[in-house]
Homo-oligomer: A and B are copies of this chain.
């Protein structure tokens, strides 16, 4: 299949690599020429612009850092919508606000383009291993088209509903994730301060009603879960800056919808304070440091 792929950063590059491995013909664009060269060696073809890439694809995939990039990559003069042929399916895998996802899709629809959103979870590790989860907002027909391709980059391909719902699913999940992680940090640090063994405490929580992914799989207290970032100095994993970005998207979407998210807003502030302290580069579970003695 001829695929246009725009955005080859920490996530996009390994995703494109998996598509090349699967035998597709890729037309690639990014501002970073080094990564373009690397992917060209693997058989990818270098495009001169998002427009140029889109013009040569039977499917367009984009993976960008934020909403502003998505807007310009699709809507600029040399953007995707300037080159794409009517009827070509497209999907944006960036994590952005649901409203922008809908706006861009509406702009595409005017040209006869069915554009969906499919943000991912799983991090750079999942992108490399091809085990990402894709949360897809798309028409049923578009979802059917996208699914086999996304399966070459991920393991779980979930249809969330119409366009925008992929973004909604992701920010709602990550809102809860940010809150849960801080909750685990507070519970573990309180237990430690009061004098219970933290391993025993984690064991009790994990077999009780406090059980959650942040406790049983990714516990922020060092030494509880061997494979978690907490047990290797909070390196790797899901960076605090990315959590801060997602909590920003969630609180902003909540503001637009006049929907209170009280704990979510406090969580966002606590990650902002962590970033201010200079710890934004650590895994997001390092929020526990704010509670440790």
Report A's interface with B, CB cutoff 8 A: 98, 121, 133, 135, 156, 158, 160-161, 164-165, 168-169, 171-177, 179-180, 182-184, 186-191, 193-197, 200-201, 203-205, 207-215, 218, 248, 250-255, 257-270, 272-273, 275-276, 290-291, 293
Contacts and interface: CB of A to CB of B under 8 A. Distances in A.
Could you tell me the dominant secondary structure of chain A's interface residues? helix
Given A172-B190, A193-B254, 4 more contacts: A182-B262, A190-B250, A259-B276, A262-B270
Nearest to A162: B195
Nearest to A98: B194
Closest 4 pairs between A and B when the two form their complex, measured CB to CB: A212-B212, A179-B183, A176-B210, A176-B187
B177 A179 contact: no
B276 A173 contact: no
Contact of A184 (B176, B201, B208): B176
B160 A204 contact: yes
B269 A156 contact: no
A169 B196 contact: yes
A259 B172 contact: no
A263 B165 contact: no
B272 A254 contact: yes
Contact of A260 (B177, B184, B215, B272): B272
Contacts of A253: 190, 194
A189 B190 CA distance: 29
B168 A210 contact: no
28 contacts: A121-B209, A135-B204, A156-B207, A160-B196, A160-B200, A160-B201, A161-B200, A165-B196, A165-B197, A168-B194, A169-B191, A169-B204, A171-B190, A172-B194, A175-B187, A175-B210, A179-B182, A179-B186, A186-B264, A190-B250, A208-B213, A211-B212, A211-B213, A248-B255, A251-B251, A252-B252, A260-B290, A276-B293
Nearest to A257: B193
